[in-house]
């Protein structure tokens, strides 16, 4: 790396980190990505992209490759069922438009990495974990990383963006405090085979609720079913005895998916328990270290907001930081504060929405959930409030634009 040019370090090669890298490299800024996994093949990740972010992907010239290379497929609708009865079909903001996009993260992130690797401005340390920061009188001068053989290395950087996602230990290293946001459920992700019947393949997303448990289903890049299973009594999700866990799942899964689970859910099936903890940092930065996405404000799975807000965070952060980095100037604290101030309204509103809607999905007494989905939701649709809420969820609360396109 040329020490006469600014050097940005990004910890975490998820969507927020890689979009940040894409924006910086396109503006002739040196970037190093640190990612603890050796590649991008993680099984269970949020992949629902809303209209607000599809617009940005179009501006960045990425929507063409996404569709041409089958890194994503249109999500026609999000269909919601209660007691297996349809209660909502959510489409796009504009008439006859799709609900959004199912973006296959593994393919998309690998594509960004390969394209960025063509530039001498980009370097990566995959399979390395960022474990600590090194400070001097001017700020955080470097970050310490460790590979799988536990060998350590320090990297110098002018600014460090932490986009590692939920539960990052780097918060504790800088003693950053967070405000907790109450959530109502945890989930077990399960990967199921492709159904034999076409009508069981979601053309977008499906959510099945009944007040005691929930199931959210969509397809991955191989046509397999990604299923999130949540329930009020979560101990059954953690059951170590596979046959007992499967028996519970078979007693709760919607009837049309019974055969798929009975035949396709095996002890060797991939699964992952996700503890849903939502919070937001009081301060997103410490000196020249800035936290973004779930690293700054952990979101719940409700309405698939995590990936969308994280990408929008990176765009806003790039807008503010690029002018300083291009001129090789230090970033003042006021810049980081401005980034947080620009993003915090949308984050708070969406966390509050997730909290309230999540309550009726699984947190409320069963009778309250039934009243909400069978009585209140139709009224909201009739008076136009459902459309207004959908516009907020899909289009974003705050106006975000890319200011430095090269």
Please tell me the pTM assigned to this model: 0.94
State residue 394 phi and psi, 5-degree precision: -85, -35
- Which is more confident, 277 or 77? 77
Q: Is 34 helix (H, G, I), strand (E, B) or coil?
A: strand
- Percent of the chain that is helix, strand, coil (3-state, to 5): 40, 25, 35
Burial class (CB in 10 A: 0-12, 13-18, 19+), 293: buried
pLDDT in tens, 363-387: 999 999 999 999 999 999 999 999 8
Burial class (CB in 10 A: 0-12, 13-18, 19+), 379: exposed
The pLDDT value given to residue 43: 56
Burial class (CB in 10 A: 0-12, 13-18, 19+), 255: exposed
DSSP E strands: which ranges in 250-386? 271-274, 278-281, 285-286, 289-291, 297-298
Q: What tokens appear for 347 in the block?
A: 């984050």
Nearest of 170, 174, 165, 108 to residue 297 by alpha carbon: 165
Query: Which residues 6+ apart lie within 8 Å of 128 measured at CB?
Result: 34, 35, 36, 145, 146, 147, 153
Query: Which pLDDT band, with edges at 50, 70 and 90, does 299 fall under?
Result: very high
Distance of CA 302 to the CA centre of its chain: 11
pLDDT in tens, 186-224: 899 999 999 999 999 999 999 999 999 999 999 988 889
Query: Which pLDDT band, with edges at 50, 70 and 90, does 334 fall under?
Result: very high
The torsion region of residue 90 among left (phi > 0), alpha (psi -120 to 50) and beta comes to beta
* Distance (Å) of CA 402 to CA 20, 59, 249, 296, 302: 11, 8, 45, 21, 26
Query: Which pLDDT band, with edges at 50, 70 and 90, does 4 fall under?
Result: confident
End-to-end Cα spacing for the chain = 21
The pLDDT value given to residue 45: 66
DSSP letter at 257 equals: G
Q: Is 2 helix (H, G, I), strand (E, B) or coil?
A: coil
Query: Which pLDDT band, with edges at 50, 70 and 90, does 93 fall under?
Result: confident
Q: Which residue has the tokens 């798929």?
A: 260
pLDDT in tens, 154-178: 999 999 999 997 778 999 999 999 9
Burial class (CB in 10 A: 0-12, 13-18, 19+), 70: exposed
Query: Which residues 6+ apart lie within 8 Å of 46 measured at CB?
Result: 301, 304, 306, 307
- Which is more confident, 266 or 276? 266
Distance of CA 64 to the CA centre of its chain: 22
Strands, sheet with 152-156, edge to edge from the N-terminal-most edge strand = 128-136, 139-147, 152-156
What is the C-alpha to C-alpha distance for residues 211 and 252, in angstroms, rounded to an integer? 11
Q: What tokens appear for 294 in the block?
A: 């779930």
Whether 323 has a pLDDT exceeding 60, the answer reads yes
Task: Provide mean pLDDT across the span 21-35.
Answer: 97
Number of H helices and E strands in the chain, helices first, is: 12, 22
Domains belonging to the chain, first-starting first, are 7-71+103-180+277-366 (3.50.50.60), 187-274 (3.30.9)
Distance of CA 131 to the CA centre of its chain: 22
Q: What tokens appear for 89 in the block?
A: 């079909």
Whether 253 has a pLDDT exceeding 70, the answer reads yes
């Amino acid at each position: 790396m040329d020490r006469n040019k600014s050097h940005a370090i990004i910890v975490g090669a998820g969507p927020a980190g890689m979009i940040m890298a894409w924006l910086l490299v396109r503006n002739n800024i040196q970037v190093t990505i640190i990612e603890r996994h050796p590649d991008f093949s993680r099984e269970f990740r949020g992949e629902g992209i809303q209209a607000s972010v599809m617009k940005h992907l179009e501006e960045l010239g990425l929507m063409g490759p996404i569709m041409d290379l089958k890194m994503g497929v249109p999500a026609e609708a999000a269909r919601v069922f209660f007691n297996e009865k349809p209660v909502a079909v959510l489409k796009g903001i504009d008439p006859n438009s799709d609900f959004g996009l199912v973006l296959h993260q593994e393919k998309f992130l690998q594509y960004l990495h390969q394209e960025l690797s063509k530039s001498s401005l980009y370097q990566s340390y995959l399979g390395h974990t960022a474990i600590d920061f090194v400070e001097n009188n001017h700020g955080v001068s470097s970050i310490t990383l460790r590979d799988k053989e536990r060998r350590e290395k320090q990297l110098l950087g002018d600014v460090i963006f932490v986009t590692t996602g939920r539960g990052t230990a780097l918060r504790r290293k800088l003693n950053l405090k967070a405000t907790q946001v109450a959530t109502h459920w945890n989930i077990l992700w399960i990967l199921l085979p492709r159904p034999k019947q076409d009508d069981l393949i979601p053309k977008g997303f499906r959510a099945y609720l009944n007040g005691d448990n929930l199931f959210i289903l969509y397809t991955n890049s191989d046509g397999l079913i990604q299923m999130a299973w949540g329930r009020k009594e979560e101990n059954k999700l953690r059951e170590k005895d596979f046959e007992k866990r499967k028996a519970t799942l078979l007693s709760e899964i919607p009837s049309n998916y019974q055969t798929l689970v009975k035949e396709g859910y095996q002890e060797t099936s991939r699964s992952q328990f996700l503890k849903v903890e939502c919070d937001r940092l009081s301060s997103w930065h410490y000196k020249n270290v800035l936290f973004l996405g779930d690293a700054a404000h952990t979101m719940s799975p409700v309405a698939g907001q995590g990936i969308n807000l994280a990408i929008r965070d990176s765009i806003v952060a790039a807008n503010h930081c690029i002018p300083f980095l291009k001129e090789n100037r230090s970033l003042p604290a006021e810049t980081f504060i401005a980034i947080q101030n620009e993003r915090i309204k949308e984050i708070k509103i969406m966390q509050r929405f997730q909290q309230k809607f999540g309550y009726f999905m699984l947190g409320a007494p069963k009778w309250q959930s039934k009243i909400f989905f069978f009585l209140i939701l139709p009224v909201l649709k009739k008076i136009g409030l459902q459309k207004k809420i959908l516009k907020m969820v899909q289009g974003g609360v705050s106006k975000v634009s890319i200011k430095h396109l090269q």
